Copies of this chain bind each other. A is one copy, B any other.
Amino acid sequence: MIYSIGQLSKETQCKVPTIRYYEEIGLLDKANRSEGNQRQYSSLQCQRLHFIRHSRALGFSLDEIKQLIHLQDCKYDEPHQAHHCEPNALNLAHQIAQEHLVDVRNKIKELKSLEKTLLKMINTCDNTDSTDCEILKSLNTIKAE
């Protein structure tokens, strides 16, 4: 199966300019070109783009994804030979995921405290009586922690 960039876009829910962008920054290998210079993709490249999109949806940065792809290549390329990959590549994947989990949890915490502050602000403001509103006042004093 060979995909045009538009077909790949539909298949992976990834916009066409984004695919080209991923190629530009080296996240996707350079695509083969047709006689008319249009990009052609294999199922393997399609799978890789799926991987990238799933990882993005989980909030990994493109840099982290680059690392994960590198690990994947270590895993599947000549797995029983000595080469440039670190021996504990798989633990590294584990570590990246775990660090990311910590990030996510911190963000949740921050947002929850933010929610509380906003809610307080909004409830203090009695806008049925539209003569005054505490929101602007409170933004002068309330700190999010």
Contacts and interface: CB of A to CB of B under 8 A. Distances in A.
Nearest to A94: B127
B139 A118 contact: no
12 contacts: A54-B140, A58-B117, A58-B139, A90-B132, A91-B133, A93-B125, A97-B122, A98-B122, A100-B118, A104-B115, A108-B111, A108-B112
Contacts of A127: 90-91, 94
A59 interface: yes
Given A101-B122, A122-B101, A93 B136 contact: yes
B97 A121 contact: yes
A12 to B, nearest CB: 12
Contacts of A72: 136
Interface residues of A, number: 47
B104 A111 contact: yes
Q: Within the oligomer, what is the number of copies of this chain?
A: 2
Interface string A70-105: 011001000000000000101101100110110011
A112 B55 CA distance: 16
Given A54-B142, A58-B142, 10 more contacts: A47-B140, A88-B130, A90-B127, A91-B127, A93-B133, A93-B135, A94-B122, A97-B122, A104-B115, A111-B111
